[in-house]
Amino acid sequence: MPELPEVELTRRRLERDLAGRRIERVEVRTPKLRLPIPGELAIALPGRTIRSVERRGKYLLFDCEGGWLIIHLGMTGFLHFLPEPALPGKHDHLDIVFMGGPVLRFHDPRKFGTVLWTMADPLSHPLLARIGPEPLIAGFDGDYLFRMSRSRRVAVKLLIMNSEIVAGVGNIYANEALFRAGIRPDRPSSSLTLPECGRLAAAIREVLQESINQGSTFRVAEESAAYHPLDFAVYGRGRGSCSLCNGALEEIRLGNRSTVFCPRCQV
């Protein structure tokens, strides 16, 4: 599943390919993904130029001269830029065709992605309005996490995966950040001290930023429309050993998601 670094890298790639391009037409082949694809896209988009591509949490926001195309990649969504027109394959649900022939194509085998259109401020859209602070921007720090965790007994891993607390931290980076901060994922949030919150906020920023800098912890294989995970310290390593103490890692379920940690290094 694409997480914040993959979405940010997608944003950079698409802004490079799309900024300044004028839309000729829209082809919707699948009327409904997680939500129906708005019918008005076919009328509203042609003639507009994409000015920029922005991001809020894991939503991509395409600035279309006064209107906003909003796309969430869901579990398996992938946006291809095709310099030349090409026949659509299976799971190619939506094409945005630009003047001269290039195509932005939305591919999504599991159809959990979302495509929206708004003429209003995209940040006030009901699906975006409640998203918490961006983890890579000032305002997300230990003091903030400490404040948000005081009255919450939920496991700290679920706290940081709650997009209303902080934007875009999914299962992979929650596992990795807690390992790096030395905090057990099943600790009640309210038991965290201020220094622990500081370490955790810093670890979240580090794992996300390092992943973006490396070109993502996923190798974005555009030809196969997939994100392939590379190596992590704990995520996906439930039967492995800890890279710090060499002891056995432990795997539990939290919020029905696989959670891996070192019972010695994380307290």
Range in contact with Zn ion (rule: CB under 5 A) among 1-9, 69-77, 88-96, 254-262: 254-262
Residue 257: active-site member: yes
Residue 239: active-site member: no
Residue 199: active-site member: no
Instruction: Give residue 227's Cα distance to chain centre.
Output: 12
Cβ distance to Zn ion smaller for residue 254 or 262:
262
Q: Which residue shows structure tokens 């994409």?
A: 50
Range in contact with Zn ion (rule: CB under 5 A) among 6-14, 157-165, 187-195, 258-266: 258-266
User: Length of the chain in residues, anyone?
Assistant: 267
Using alpha carbons only, give the angle 167, 173, 174 rounded to the nearest 5 degrees.
80
Closest distance to Zn ion from the beta carbon of 179 (Å): 8
Closest distance to Zn ion from the beta carbon of 244 (Å): 4
Residue 3: active-site member: yes
With binding defined as CB under 5 A, does residue 265 bind Zn ion? yes
Tokens of 266: 């994380």
* Catalytic annotation, pick one of 56, 58, 157, 199: 58
Closest distance to Zn ion from the beta carbon of 263 (Å): 8
Subset of residues 214 to 243 that bind Zn ion, contact rule: CB under 5 A: 242
Closest distance to Zn ion from the beta carbon of 248 (Å): 9
Residues engaged in binding Zn ion (CB under 5 A): 242, 244-245, 262, 264-265
> Which residues participate in catalysis according to the annotation?
2-3, 58, 257
